[in-house]
Each structure stands twice: as structure tokens, then as C-alpha cells.
Amino acid sequence: MKDDDKAWQEIVDHYGDRPDFPPADPGSEPDLDDPELRSDPDPVSELEAAIEEEEGFVPPPPPPLPRPEGPRLAAWLGVFFAPTALMIALMFQVRLPGLVSTGLILWFLVGFGYLVWNMPRYRDDPYDDGARL
């Protein structure tokens, strides 16, 4: 252990040239209590000031979410409800009749196929990223 410390100290002592600094004047150190030196802007207060400038703006309420109807609603229920029902039955070890489990699997497959089949085949504008203002 002493050899390691001695070797380390030798490396530190011989590493590069040490710079010669002039002696520091006691009056040359900056006064950290000087308000001119501590005038860094606070980003939080700047943000609060920007919000206060726009105090009159109230955004409009968002439009209601569209609700699927008819076959699309049945397809979405098949995609989400059928696997969930099968997983719950497996977790609680509920034995479903063969017709029910087959029906749930078919409901999922048909619903997924319906949603994929009714997707738009092409985009109106190929350069549109979907953002709306």
C-alpha cells in the first residue's frame, strides 16, 4: 500500500509544469455582495413576466372528442374488449365455453381487419405532417 501511495505521489509531483501565479492583491478579489455582479436574469421570473403580459388571453374550450358509431364502434370494442376479456378469464382461471372464446377471438380479428381495411389508402398532401393550427 505504501508503494502505491509513493508511486502516486511521484506521478503527481512530476506531472507537467506548474504555472507561476503572481501573488494576489487583497483588494483585487470581486465583491460577491455587489448587486451589479449578481444581476443574472432569473429564467423563472422572466417566464412569469411573459405570462402576466398575456393575462387577457383565455383559450377556447376544446371541441368534444369524436365518438365512433355503428360498425366502427363494434370494431374498436372487439380490438380492446375481446383480448381483455380473454386475459381476465385466464388470470382468474374461468373456463369459458369454446363458442364464447372462439367468438371473442373472431371478434378481435374481424374488428382489427375492419379498422385496417377502412384506413385511408392515400394522403391528400404527401408533405402534410398532420399538424393543425
Domain membership flag for residue 57: no
Domain membership flag for residue 93: yes
Domain membership flag for residue 9: no
Answer yes or no: are the C-beta atoms of 104 and 77 closer than 8 Å: no
Domain membership flag for residue 26: no
Place of cell 509531483: 13
115 by Cβ neighbours in 10 Å (0-12 / 13-18 / 19+) ranks as middle
The per-residue pLDDT for range 40-63, each reduced to its tens digit, is 566 667 777 777 666 666 678 889
Helix (H, G, I), strand (E, B) or coil at 92: coil
Q: What total number of domains does the chain contain?
A: 1
Domain membership flag for residue 107: yes
**At CA 103, angle to CA 97 and CA 107, rounded to 5?**
150
**pLDDT tens digits, the chain, 133 residues: what are they?**
678 888 888 888 877 766 677 776 666 666 666 666 555 566 667 777 777 666 666 678 889 988 889 999 999 999 999 999 999 999 999 999 999 999 999 999 999 999 999 988 877 777 777 776 6
Domain membership flag for residue 90: yes
- Which domain does 92 fall in, by range? 71-117
Calpha distance 108→72 (Å, rounded): 13
Nearest CA among 68, 81, 69 for reference residue 110: 81
